[in-house]
Chain A
Amino acid sequence: MSTSETTDRGRLKVFLGMAAGVGKTYRMLLEGHAEAQAGRDVVIGLLETHGRAETAQLGRGLEALPRRYVRYRGAALEEMDLPAILARSPQLCLIDELAHSNAPGTEHAKRWEDVEEVLERGIDVLSTLNVQHLESLNDHITELSGIRVRETIPDAILGRADEVVLIDLTPEALLDRLRAGKVYPAERIDAALNNFFRIENLSALREVALRQVAEEVGAKRLTTELLGSREESLAADAPQAVGERLLALVEPYPGAQRLVRRAWRSAQRLGADLDLLWVRPPGRTLSEDRENSLAALGQLASVLGARLLVEESDDVAATIAETAARRGTTYILIGGSRAPRGLARLRRPLPQRLMELLPGVDVRIVAERSRRPDGEEP
């Protein structure tokens, strides 16, 4: 793991496995030793040996910060000492079990949130995770294994990791390790063999873990390619559009979804990129309905591959014109507006103002189907 020379944020490397006992913690410790031998300041923030002698043995030789005790309902619970890690500020910190839920009274509810804070301080982190703890896979794995895992982490945490390393072991080899007492103490072996550690469970979990890592690798490759092309486009002198680029003007209310769908279909036909723009009036708080509509618009934009832009301004036309010029827009789509009331009648209509501000840009008004006369409805 290289040092973070180009960014202040630390780097996160996650060792992912299909189940307990595959060797994630062991591998994390091996890498910790290698980094320490290479001259880096390495500290164990938290190590869960689960009574495994090999793991405990490997932990020796690395500085380990003591755990702290948190009082909860009369009991003293052991937790990772986040303030101590931040105060010690090593170059690399080893933090086991990323999906762990902290005891109430600590800084964060989840350990991955602790890790985020450590990374924010510029400290690199090695951590471990079992695939069944990933939020989106939780239901799927419950179906496969019949056991629901309560501690989950958002997929985005793994997505943001700089490296994900799969610690793979065949189910047969893992079962051998289990029977040899290398995973759990003797009194827990029979229960484990009869519940979670069945060969069909492990085979399915292994497949999920392999797919997950393949997906992460694919995503990283795609991101790299996209960043490359973006850099190339930034290098261009003028923001002129090479092809068509559509800009749909939206507001967070239900009718906007339809406008976005129409804009997307038009963009598909033209082979164009699509931007969505909401010019938000300054200083106005949104009702719950509009917050929901805004979130739904964001989700729709994301699934369609469009980009949702929110600009805060009182001058709608000028903001649209500025955004269109910046984005190289060739085509603007707007929804039908309500009849103006009060002094708004004195203002020139938005399409007319846009035509004046953006010569050479097409402006299209998308009709509202519900206002079509009877007989034209489906």
Chain B
Amino acid sequence: MSAYAVFAIAAAAALAGIGAGYWLPPHGRLAFRDRPRAVRRILLPFTGQAISRRSFEAAVRLAKAENATIMPAFLARVPMNLPLDSALPVQCASGMSLLEAIEQRAGSQGIPVDSRVGRGRSPRDALRSLLDAEHFDRIIVSAEEDPRRGLSYEDLRWLLERVPAEIMIVRPAPEDHRRISAGAVSGHF
């Protein structure tokens, strides 16, 4: 083989290498996570320091069955004496821990999670701002007798009447008091 042929093969190999290097992420083509996917999105909104275990488990079962992403959403209530875009560190202290706990539990079962935070004058206002911004295929909410612990019956009726998504309202059984709280976070957070 002549020196010329060796040089030509080496040059071609180098060009192929450069081309492959460019084509692989992060430059030439879309990274895996950027590719458009037809994944269903299940919104799991919560307001307080804990979330009904039944709601969470329903979301996990559906997500597994439908190859869906669970989107836990912390609904922060902005007091009337603060501007709507205020930082809310006190509420976030529990809300972020609970998001972390949900993410850990769902992640351990192989369910993709994509968290959200909504903010408004009331849980409903916060939820509406989320729903205005993005599309969700399903919404799973827990019916709470005490509106301080979540969405009120009025809020649930509003959801059913106004929101164009499949809505699953989970009613806890009388003996079912199991909840996932911020204390469920595993390890250092």
Q: Which residues of A contact B (CB under 8 A)?
A: 136-137, 139-140, 143, 155-156, 159, 211-212, 214-215, 218-219, 222, 253-254, 257-258, 261-262, 264-265, 268, 281, 287-290, 292-293, 295-296, 299-300, 302-305, 341-344, 369-370, 376-378
Q: Which of B101-117 contact A (CB under 8 A)?
A: 101, 103-105, 107-108, 112-117
Is the Cβ of A264 less than 8 Å from the Cβ of B96? yes
Report the minimal beta-carbon distance from A77 to chain B, rounded to whole angstroms.
28
Across the interface, which residues of B come within 8 angstroms of A341, CB to CB? 24-25
Is the Cβ of B85 less than 8 Å from the Cβ of A302? yes
Is the Cβ of B81 less than 8 Å from the Cβ of A214? yes
Nearest first, the 8 closest Cβ-Cβ pairs linking A and B are: A343-B21, A305-B87, A342-B24, A378-B186, A254-B114, A377-B108, A219-B83, A370-B107
Bound-complex Cα distance A311 to B13 (A): 36
Q: Which of B69, B84, B115, B124 contacts A139 (CB 8 A)?
A: B124
Is the Cβ of B117 less than 8 Å from the Cβ of A303? yes
Bound-complex Cα distance A137 to B128 (A): 12
Bound-complex Cα distance A212 to B78 (A): 12
Given known A257-B114, A258-B100, contact A215–B80 (CB-CB < 8 A): yes
Give chain A's interface secondary structure class. helix
Is the Cβ of B80 less than 8 Å from the Cβ of A253? no
Q: Which residues of B contact A (CB under 8 A)?
A: 17-18, 20-26, 30, 33-37, 69, 76, 80-85, 87-89, 92-93, 96, 99-101, 103-105, 107-108, 112-122, 124-125, 128, 133-134, 154, 158, 184-187, 189
Given known A139-B158, A378-B104, contact A218–B115 (CB-CB < 8 A): no
Across the interface, which residues of A come within 8 angstroms of B186, CB to CB? 369, 376-378
Report the minimal beta-carbon distance from A286 to chain B, rounded to whole angstroms.
8
Name A222's closest neighbour in chain B (CB-CB). Answer: B83
Is the Cβ of A215 less than 8 Å from the Cβ of B184? no
Across the interface, which residues of B come within 8 angstroms of A265, CB to CB? 96, 189
Is the Cβ of A299 less than 8 Å from the Cβ of B82? no
Write 10 A-B pairs (CB below 8 A) sorted by A numbering. Answer: A139-B122, A140-B122, A156-B84, A253-B33, A257-B99, A287-B35, A305-B87, A376-B186, A377-B108, A378-B105
Bound-complex Cα distance A203 to B128 (A): 26
Name A341's closest neighbour in chain B (CB-CB). Answer: B24
Is the Cβ of B117 less than 8 Å from the Cβ of A296? yes
Given known A300-B117, A378-B105, contact A139–B125 (CB-CB < 8 A): yes
Report the minimal beta-carbon distance from A131 to chain B, rounded to whole angstroms.
12
Given A215-B81, A289-B37, A343-B21, 20 more contacts at CB 8 Å? A136-B84, A155-B84, A218-B81, A254-B112, A254-B114, A257-B115, A265-B189, A268-B89, A287-B36, A288-B36, A293-B114, A299-B117, A299-B118, A300-B115, A303-B117, A303-B119, A342-B21, A344-B21, A344-B26, A369-B107
Across the interface, which residues of B come within 8 angstroms of A253, CB to CB? 33
Is the Cβ of A261 less than 8 Å from the Cβ of B96? yes
Is the Cβ of B82 less than 8 Å from the Cβ of A218? yes
Given known A261-B99, A290-B34, A296-B117, contact A136–B21 (CB-CB < 8 A): no
Report the minimal beta-carbon distance from B162 to chain A, rounded to whole angstroms.
10
Bound-complex Cα distance A35 to B14 (A): 77
Name B93's closest neighbour in chain A (CB-CB). Answer: A268
Is the Cβ of A289 less than 8 Å from the Cβ of B124? no
Bound-complex Cα distance A215 to B83 (A): 7
